[in-house]
């Protein structure tokens, strides 16, 4: 099936806006559906006029219906992406993250479109087993993780029930330009870069021995493009690098790179933090042809450049 038109829900967000740029560069017609609650028009400044933007909620049947019209692939990124918020307001966040995914799947089914769902490593919960493989039983520990897992289950069910070509992408720790540095929920790299550029101290929660599999946003975009082109039948894929970095090293490197004399300090461990996270990237490599290309040094340098010039 040749794809001409696509829909990106949450296309004005951090990851969505990078995906939109790439899809346009591939010569596709792109529509964005976004309620701009966390997304921003600034993220789409480089593609203004080239992309159709519908301001509306994923929960609004007419908005999603209109946005999906004629689309042959739906990338579903619209979500409330905060773990703490999902703990504070599980019902409200469930509406957006579960019901919203179902709405997007329905719109996709009507159009006979493929479906690529943005899921999260949060589905794995805090089991100590490493690396995380898709064959492991998911055991989410936050409502957010449970909601992403529910979304994945629906993706699988739609593939099985309606023959929809669909898959879920489990993102590990994504970072890069446009991640909102002012949000209390922003990732550690973005937080550290912002502080380091301002010459402020970097605070590590705990002893800094915890590790994460940090994946650069452009690699996440690449995984989405490959998922669009692959034949999929409802399965989930890890999207990470397969390598991990400890937070102590990360803080030291960022402080040094920024060159503003920031000091690295330690505070009490953060409640609910997991110790280690790293993916097994082999299923995505085998079935999608995905391999992350941007290493941590390169990714940090690019993101630093973005924050410096912005």
Which of 84/163 has CB closer to ligand UD2?
Answer: 84
Task: Give phi and psi for 47, each to the nearest 5.
Answer: -120, 15
2 and 34 Cβ atoms separated by less than 8 Å:
no
Q: Which residues contact 287 (CB under 8 A, 6 or more apart)?
A: 230, 232, 235, 237
Among positions 93, 96, 107, 122, the unique one binding ligand UD2 when judged by CB under 6 A: 122
Among positions 102-121, residues that touch ligand UD2 (CB under 6 A) are: 120-121
Among positions 5, 76, 114, 191, the unique one binding ligand UD2 when judged by CB under 6 A: 191
**Residue number of the CB atom closest to ligand UD2:** 187
Nearest-angstrom CA–CA distance, 259 and 237: 38
Rounded to 10 deg, the angle between the 100-111 and 61-68 helix axes is 40
User: Where does residue 22 rank: exposed (0-12), middle (13-18), buried (19+ CB within 10 A)?
Assistant: middle
CA neighbor of 83 nearest in space, from 211, 185, 190: 185
User: Where does residue 17 rank: exposed (0-12), middle (13-18), buried (19+ CB within 10 A)?
Assistant: buried
Rounded least distance, CB 191 to ligand UD2, Å: 5
Rounded least distance, CB 107 to ligand UD2, Å: 25
Stated length of the chain: 310
3-state class of 288 per DSSP? helix
Rounded least distance, CB 51 to ligand UD2, Å: 26
Among positions 40-69, residues that touch ligand UD2 (CB under 6 A) are: none
83 forms part of the interface with ligand UD2 (CB under 6 A): yes
Q: Which two structure tokens, joined as six digits, stand for 178?
A: 């446009």
Among positions 203, 253, 283, 285, the unique one binding ligand UD2 when judged by CB under 6 A: 203
Among positions 264-283, residues that touch ligand UD2 (CB under 6 A) are: 270, 273-274
Which of 115/144 has CB closer to ligand UD2?
Answer: 144
Region of 6-14, 53-61, 101-109, 187-195 interacting with ligand UD2 (CB under 6 A): 187-195
Q: Is 306 a catalytic residue?
A: no
Rounded least distance, CB 203 to ligand UD2, Å: 5
Which of 49/128 has CB closer to ligand UD2?
Answer: 128
Rounded least distance, CB 264 to ligand UD2, Å: 10
Number of Cβ within 10 Å of residue 146's Cβ equals 21
Footprint on this chain of ligand UD2 (rule: CB under 6 A): 81, 83, 120-122, 173-174, 187-188, 191, 203-205, 210, 212, 247, 270, 273-274
- Positions marked active-site: 144
């Amino acid at each position: 099936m040749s794809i001409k038109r696509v829909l990106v829900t949450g296309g004005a967000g951090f990851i969505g806006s990078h995906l939109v740029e790439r899809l346009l560069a591939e010569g596709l017609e792109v529509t964005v559906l976004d309620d701009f609650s966390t997304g921003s028009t600034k993220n789409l400044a480089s593609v203004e006029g080239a992309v159709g933007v519908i301001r509306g909620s994923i929960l609004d049947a007419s908005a999603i219906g209109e946005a999906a019209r004629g689309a042959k692939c739906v990338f579903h990124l619209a979500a409330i992406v905060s773990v703490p918020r999902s703990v504070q307001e599980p019902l409200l966040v469930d509406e957006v993250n579960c019901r919203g995914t179902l709405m997007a799947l329905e719109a996709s089914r009507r159009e006979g479109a493929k479906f690529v769902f943005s899921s999260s490593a949060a589905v794995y919960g805090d089991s100590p087993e490493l690396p995380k493989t898709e064959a492991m039983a998911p055991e989410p520990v936050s409502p957010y993780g449970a909601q992403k897992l529910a979304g994945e289950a629906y993706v699988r069910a739609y593939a099985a029930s309606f023959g929809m070509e669909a898959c879920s992408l489990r993102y590990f720790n994504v970072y890069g330009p446009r991640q909102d540095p002012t949000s209390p929920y922003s990732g550690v790299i973005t937080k550290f870069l912002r502080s380091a550029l301002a010459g402020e101290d970097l605070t590590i929660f705990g002893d800094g021995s915890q590790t994460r599999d940090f994946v650069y946003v452009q690699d996440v975009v690449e995984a989405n493009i490959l998922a669009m082109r692959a034949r999929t039948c409802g399965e989930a894929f890890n999207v990470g690098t397969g390598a991990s970095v400890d937070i102590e090293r990360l803080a030291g490197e960022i402080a040094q790179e920024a060159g503003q004399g920031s000091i690295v300090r330690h505070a009490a461990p953060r409640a609910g933090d997991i110790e280690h996270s790293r993916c097994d990237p082999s299923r995505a490599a085998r079935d999608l042809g995905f391999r992350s290309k941007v290493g941590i040094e390169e990714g940090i340098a690019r993101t630093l450049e973005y924050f410096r010039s912005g």
